[in-house]
Amino acid sequence: MTAILTAIGILGALGLIFGLVLAIASKVFYVETDPRLDLLNECLPGANCGGCGYAGCGGYAEAVLKGEAPIGKCASGGNDCAMKMAEIMGVKAEKVERRVAMVRCSGYKTTDAEGNIVGGKLKGEYEGISDCLAASKVAGRGPTACKFGCLGFGNCVKACQYGAISIKDGVAVVDEEKCIGCLACAAACPRQLIVPVSPAQNVVIACASLAKGAATTRSCTVGCIGCGKCKKTCQHDAIILEKNLARIDYTKCVNCGDCAKVCPKGLIKDSNVEHLPEVTAEA
């Protein structure tokens, strides 16, 4: 009987002592956290997409609290989120611009009615790991004839939390309705093919080939050959021709779309971003 009692007594005492020590420690070691941090965390969507450039929503909230980051960097939370955050921090919110991602490659691997290849050609069969980065590292830089175009193994698809990107005929396509512009896909693309567009910067040249015109034509029927028609047409001097590829200088581009009309390959595309509704945080 005494054995049981000692056991109960000793363990009870141990528990009591530890409990007391912890209770005291929680008072002594109490670290004051800013109550605004929890509030900020609450109004962020919690998707941890990383589009703001911080490690998850918590990281962004802390940066905002310290004043290191501006409000309105959260693309997935959108305006609602920015307004709420601004209220908490007691500043005025800037409007969050609607952005969507666009893929700078048009080399869809398709054939026309007669069986001729239209779009990007393949130079071989790749049977390795189904991953863009792995495929781009093999000798010859992947299975696509074009060394710059989309590989189509879908690293961007895997990176997208919103199901907004898919592979169609071997090239990634963004569903602009679903895209919230976090650019997680851009970070996942080993060929840096994905760029953001906003209503003010809406025109994109959907090719990234730096090869010479003849080489580009050999590997893809819709590659930019650097002919310069767009440059000549542009009245605002906004097109730069560099390394056999036309590029848009967004500081000068006025979104007129004249270049798109003259491109012999039909490569210059604009997104539908200006007609899309503002992003709103999910309830």
Residue 155 C-beta: closest distance to other proteins, Å: 11
Torsion 57-84-72-162 (CA) sign = positive
Phi-psi region of 82 (alpha: psi -120 to 50; beta: other; left: phi over 0): alpha
DSSP symbols for 2-24: HHHHHHHHHHHHHHHHHHHHHHH
Is residue 250 classed exposed, middle or buried when 0-12, 13-18 and 19+ CB atoms within 10 A define those classes? middle
Q: Tell whether residue 62 is a contact of other proteins (CB under 8 A).
A: no
- Number of residues near other proteins (by CB under 8 A): 21
Residue 39 C-beta: closest distance to other proteins, Å: 21
Q: Tell whether residue 23 is a contact of other proteins (CB under 8 A).
A: no
Q: Which of 87, 97, 131, 258 binds other proteins (CB under 8 A)?
A: 131
Q: Tell whether residue 91 is a contact of other proteins (CB under 8 A).
A: no
Task: For residue 189, give the 3-state DSSP assignment.
Answer: coil
Residue 71 C-beta: closest distance to other proteins, Å: 24
- Report whether 175 contacts 165 (CB < 8 A): yes
Binding mask 155-194 for other proteins (x = CB under 8 A): ----------------------------------------
Binding site for other proteins (CB under 8 A): 3, 6-7, 10-11, 14-15, 18-19, 21-22, 25-26, 28-31, 129-131, 134
